[in-house]
Amino acid sequence: MQQQQQQASACWSRSRMSTEQMAFMVEYTSGVVCLAMEGADLDRLQLPLMVNSEANEEAMYTAFTITADYRHNTTTGISAYDRAITVRQLSNPGCPPADFKRPGHIFPLRYHPGGVLVRPGHTEAGVDLARLAGCYPTGCLSEIVDKRDGSMARLMQLLEFAKQHGLKCITIAQLIRHRLQHEEVVQEVLRAPFRLPVGVWNPEQADFTMHVFRCVLSGQEHLVVSHGGLSGASKVLLHVQRGNVFADLIGGLQSGPSSSLLASLEQLASHSAGLAIYCAGNSASLEGAGKQLASPSATFANSSDGSSVHAARENGIIAAILRKLEVRSVELQSPDDQMRACLIQLGVEVTSTRDRKLFSFKFAAACFAELLGTLIFSFFGGGLVSEDSQEVAWLNGLALAILIYVTANISGGHLNPAVTLPTIITGHTGLFKGCIYIVMQLAGAALGSLLLAGIYPGASVGNKALGVGCFELRQTISTGHLTKGMAFGWEAVMTFTLVATVYSVALGTPNFGNVGPLIIGLVLAASAMLASDKTGAALNPARALGPTFVYQCNWSQIWVYVVAELAGGLVAGIMSWPLYGSGEQYGVIGNSIMKPLRRLFGKPAEGDHVDPNDIDAGAPMESKAV
C-alpha cells in the first residue's frame, strides 16, 4: 500500500490465469495488464526495455519492456481469452521468442534482482509472491480503480473490494517483513576488538568491537561498532548513522551530535551495552555518489518518497543485523518514528526513544520566539484603535503575517493556542513542547497587554473601564444584542477557518513556501472584517485572555471566546488530518483521539501493536497492496 496514494494491484500467478480471471481483472482494473518477469526470461524471449534506465520518465521508474501477444490460437490479442493465453505462454520457459508478436497487449515488467528487499514495487512483489507460492516466478497484475469515477481505488475501497470478492489483501511492507524474517539478508564478514586512542576517553571505558556485515543482495558492507555484552541484554543503546559520502567527507550537509559517529561512540562507552550502525547507503563511494547525482532517477531518490523507500530498506538491514547479534531490545539514541515502527514489526522491542536535548538551546529559542511573537501581536492588536474596523483588520492580518515570517524557522510560528492544541492532537507537536508553547503564548499575550497598559494614555492595570484590547460581545444592527451562543458560533467558525488555513499552508500540496504567512494573514484580516462588529474577532485564546487578565475586564464573557476558539481549532485540525496526514509525536491525549481515526483509515498509531496481518498504511513509498 503506497503511503500517500494507497494504490493496489490485483495479482495472479500465471498458472492460475484463466480467461475468467483475466476478464475479472480487466473489468475491475485500469485494463492495462502487466506481467512481472525475471530478466533471464525476458532476455530469452528477446523483449528489451521500452527505454533504457537513463531515459525512463515513468513516475515509479517501472521497467516496462516491449509489449507482446502470443502468435498462435489468438485473434486481435485484446480479448480476455487472448490475453490469458499470452500471459500463460510468456510464463512458459519452453516457449521460443518467435511465438510472440511485437507490439502486443500484455506489458511485461522487468523484475529487479533481490525483489522487494531491493525495490519495493509492484513488479518485485508479483514475482516474490509467485515464488513463495511455489509457482513459476511471474506475476500478472493490474491497478484496481474506483468504478464510480475511474480514479485509483483507496484503502477503504480496497478492503471492501477484497472482502466482496474473497481476495487476500496484503501490503508490500508485510512481504518485506516476511522475507526479512525467513531469509538470510546479511552476513558477518569481520569481527575485531579495538580500543579508542588514549586521551580521547578513559581506556578502561573505550573497549569496542568492530563488525562488518555484508548485504547478501546488494553486496554493500555496513560498519557496526558494539560495546558491552549484547546477547540477551535489554535496552541496548542504538545509534544509526545513514551514510552520505559528501556529508561524511566534506561535511556541512548534516550537523549535530546525531550525525557524528564519534560523538555517538562516546555515549556508548558510558552505557552497559550499546551499538552504533553505519549504513553505507547508495553513495557508499565517490563513484557511486557521482552516478547517483548524474542519474535521472536522482530526483526520485532525493525526494521525500524516494528517501522513504531507501530508509525502509535500511531499516530492514538494521533489523537483520540486530537479529544476527542476538539483540532483542533496543533504546533509540535519536527519535526516528519510521525506524521504531519497522523494528517493532520485525520483532525487536523498542522500549523508549531517548531525546537527550529536551532543554536544548534550540528549544529555548523556540519558546522565546512564541513568547515574544505573541507579546508583540497582543501589543499591536490591543493598541490598534480606529473608527475604521476594516483598517484595524488589515493591520492585524499584516502584523500576524510578519510575525509568522520572523518566527516560522525558529518555533514554527504558532503564536496561538488554537493552533498549537490541534497540532498536539494530530501529532505534529509533542505534548511537552506544545504545552510549553501554550504557556509562552498566554504569558506573551499578558505581557503585551501589561506593556500597553503602562504606556497607553489613560489605561491602567485593573481598570475595567479604561482597558484597551479587551473583547466583548457587540451590538448588531439585526438583533440588537449578540447572544453568547451567537458569539460562540462566530468565534468557532472564524477560528476553524484560520486553523484550517494554517494546516493547508503548512502541510498541503503544493508547498506555499514564503507566501504561506501572507495567506494566513489575509485569512485573519478577512475573518476580522466579517466578525469585528459582532465579537471583535479574537480568534486566539491568548489574545482574548491577555487583556482580560491585565485589566480584569469581561470575565463573564471571556469563556465564550476561549472555548469557542479552542473548539474551532480542534475541529479544523482533526478534519484536516485525512487530507494532509498526521505527525508521530502523540501524547496520551492525542493518542486517545487520533488512534481510532488512524485505525479507521488503516494507519497504526504510536504505541499500537502492529499485527503482521494488519493493513499497514504507514508502509514505505510504493509498498502497495497486491
Q: Which of 322, 229, 333, 242 is nearest to 280 (CA)?
A: 242
Torsions phi, psi for 287 (to 5 deg): -65, -45
Q: Between 533 and 447, where is the model more confident?
A: 447
Q: Residues of 434-472 as b/e, b for ≥16 C-beta within 10 angstroms?
A: bebbbebbbbbbbbbbbbbbeebeebeeeeeeebbbbbb
C-alpha cell at 267: 555515549
Max avg pLDDT among 381-385, 476-480, 494-498, 504-508:
494-498
Q: What is the mean pLDDT of the chain?
A: 77
73-82, 135-144, 401-410, 617-626: segment of lowest average pLDDT: 617-626
Task: Enter the DSSP assignment of 468.
Answer: S
C-alpha cell at 458: 489613560
CA-to-CA separations, 143 to 110, 215, 401, 421, in angstroms, rounded: 17, 32, 44, 40
Contacts with 256 (C-beta within 8 Å, 6 or more apart), sequence order: none
Q: Which helix (H) or strand (E) holds 543?
A: helix 541-551
**Residue 614's pLDDT is what?**
39
Max avg pLDDT among 6-10, 90-94, 239-243, 499-503:
90-94
Confidence of residue 208 (pLDDT cuts 50, 70, 90): confident
User: The dihedral of CA 386, 387, 393, 398: what is its sign?
Assistant: negative
Name the 3-class secondary structure at 480: coil
**Residue 306's pLDDT is what?**
43
505-534 residue pLDDT tens: 876 655 566 788 899 989 988 888 887 777
> Angle 224-226-227 (CA atoms, 0-180°, nearest 5)?
165
C-alpha cell at 231: 546477547
Q: Which of 176, 172, 118, 122 is nearest to 144 (CA)?
A: 122
User: 304-324 vs 172-182: helix axis angle to the nearest 10?
Assistant: 20
Q: Are 11 and 139 in contact (CB under 8 A)?
A: yes
Name the 3-class secondary structure at 227: strand
* Mean pLDDT confidence for 294-321: 57
**Residue 331's pLDDT is what?**
86
State the span(s) of the chain assigned CATH 3.90.870.10.
9-181
Task: Report d(CA 580, CA 504) in Å as an integer.
Answer: 7
Confidence of residue 272 (pLDDT cuts 50, 70, 90): confident
Max avg pLDDT among 15-19, 305-309, 466-470:
15-19
Q: Between 599 and 500, where is the model more confident?
A: 500
Task: Inform me whether the pLDDT recorded for 609 exceeds 60.
Answer: no
Q: Are 535 and 561 in contact (CB under 8 A)?
A: yes
CATH number of 361-600: 1.20.1080.10
Task: Inform me whether the pLDDT recorded for 578 exceeds 50.
Answer: yes
CA-to-CA separations, 91 to 126, 135, 141, 372, 626, in angstroms, rounded: 13, 10, 14, 68, 19
CB hemisphere CA count around 55 (13 angstroms): 5
* Mean pLDDT confidence for 162-169: 88
Confidence of residue 371 (pLDDT cuts 50, 70, 90): very high
State the span(s) of the chain assigned CATH 1.20.1080.10.
361-600
Length of the chain: 626
Confidence of residue 618 (pLDDT cuts 50, 70, 90): very low
19-69 residue pLDDT tens: 999 999 999 999 999 999 999 999 999 999 999 888 888 877 889 999 999
Q: How far does Cα 54 stand from its chain's mean position?
A: 29
Q: Are 172 and 120 in contact (CB under 8 A)?
A: yes
35-49, 124-138, 335-349, 559-573: segment of lowest average pLDDT: 335-349
Look up the CATH superfamily of 9-181. Answer: DHBP synthase (3.90.870.10)
CATH class of the domain defined by 184-353: alpha beta
Q: What is the DSSP string of 261-309?
A: HHHHHHHHHTSSSEEEEEE--TTSSHHHHHHHHHSTTHHHHHSHHHHHH
Q: What is the DSSP string of 361-410?
A: HHHHHHHHHHHHHHHHHHHHHHH---S-HHHHHHHHHHHHHHHHHHHHHH
Task: Report d(CA 95, CA 42) in Å as an integer.
Answer: 12
Confidence of residue 297 (pLDDT cuts 50, 70, 90): very low
